[in-house]
């Protein structure tokens, strides 16, 4: 039995030594690797944030420019609408010359 106990102790000592070695490797290489991976992810996040901010800025500027253009178009459309109405009214109107001619004819008829 003492021999079995010694064998068991030796196996456990080997396992403990192996586990200690693995822990030391993880502490040395694993932590550095994890730090590098986290830094890489941070760089990606910063880059994505910069791209999103730039896109939002450009979109905001485009919307502001579009709003100014819309106001100018609205004024142009208003002026154009007014000109169309004016043209239609002028088309419907009797020319001044015709009104004067008919008035003179009525005057002559009235005088007779």
pLDDT for 67: 64
The mean pLDDT of 22-34, rounded to a whole number, is 77
User: Residue 78's domain spans which residues?
Assistant: 2-111
pLDDT at 8: 82
% pLDDT > 90, the chain = 21
Residue 75 has pLDDT above 80, yes or no: no
Rounded Cα distance between 19 and 51, Å, is: 45
Above 70 in pLDDT, residue 72?
no
Number of domains, the chain: 1
d(C-alpha 22, C-alpha 24), whole Å: 5
pTM: 0.39
Within 10 angstroms of residue 38's Cβ, the number of other Cβ atoms is: 10
Mean pLDDT over 85-97 rounds to: 83
């Amino acid at each position: 039995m003492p021999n079995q106990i010694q064998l068991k102790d030796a196996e456990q000592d080997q396992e403990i030594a192996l586990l200690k070695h693995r822990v030391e490797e993880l502490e040395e290489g694993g932590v550095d690797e994890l730090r590098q991976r986290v830094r890489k992810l941070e760089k990606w996040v910063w880059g994505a944030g910069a791209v999103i901010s730039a896109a939002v800025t450009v979109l905001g500027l485009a919307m502001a420019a579009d709003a100014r253009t819309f106001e100018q178009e609205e004024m142009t459309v208003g002026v154009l609408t007014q000109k169309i109405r004016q043209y239609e009214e002028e088309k419907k109107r009797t020319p001044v010359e015709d009104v004067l001619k008919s008035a003179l004819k009525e005057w002559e008829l009235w005088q007779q």
